[in-house]
Amino acid sequence: MNYEFVYEEDFLIIRLSGTAGVNERLFVEEYLAPHLLQSCQKVIVDLDSLNETGGVFLLGVLNTIKKKFQLLGGEIKLCSLKPELYRYFQENRLDQIFDIGQSVEEMKAKFIKKSNAD
């Protein structure tokens, strides 16, 4: 699996691509470490380039990302799930744990809307 970290305004966008391997969740912390120091509060995980269909190994990666940023007071949102992966999330009620949207722009707007409501 490949990780691309992009900072845009107040957001950290993590673009995941490729396929999650069996032990991928063990490696994600290594990739996250330098970005955790930035203490970004608004994190969007873009899954558009992901080859994942089942989601089992990906779930470990997403849970690790979510936990690490929540410990720092941040929040993550997911976007651009392929239909098969979105169905997997719905069937396993993961859409109740993760805030999921269509695009990076939609999720940015959700963060801004939430900030204005607070």
Cα of first residue to Cα of last residue in the chain, in angstroms, is 36
pTM: 0.91
Domains of the chain listed by start with CATH number: 2-117 (3.30.750.24)
For residues 35 and 17, give the distance between their C-alpha atoms in angstroms, rounded to a whole number: 18
77-87 pLDDT tens trace: 999 999 999 99
The answer for residues whose C-beta is within 8 angstroms of residue 83's C-beta and 6 or more apart is: none
pLDDT at position 105 is 96
**Is 20:9 a contact under the CB 8 Å cutoff?**
no
The residues that bridge with 44 in the sheet, in sequence order, are 13, 77
Higher pLDDT, 33 or 4: 4
pLDDT given at position 53 = 62
DSSP sequence for 77-113: EEE---HHHHHHHHHTTGGGTSEEES-HHHHHHHHHH
Q: Answer whether 46's CB lies under 8 Å from 79's CB.
A: yes
Question: pLDDT by residue (tens digit) across 73-116?
Answer: 999 999 999 999 999 999 999 999 999 999 999 999 999 887 77
Reported as a single tens digit per residue, the pLDDT across 12-57 is 999 999 988 888 888 898 899 888 877 678 999 999 999 866 578 8
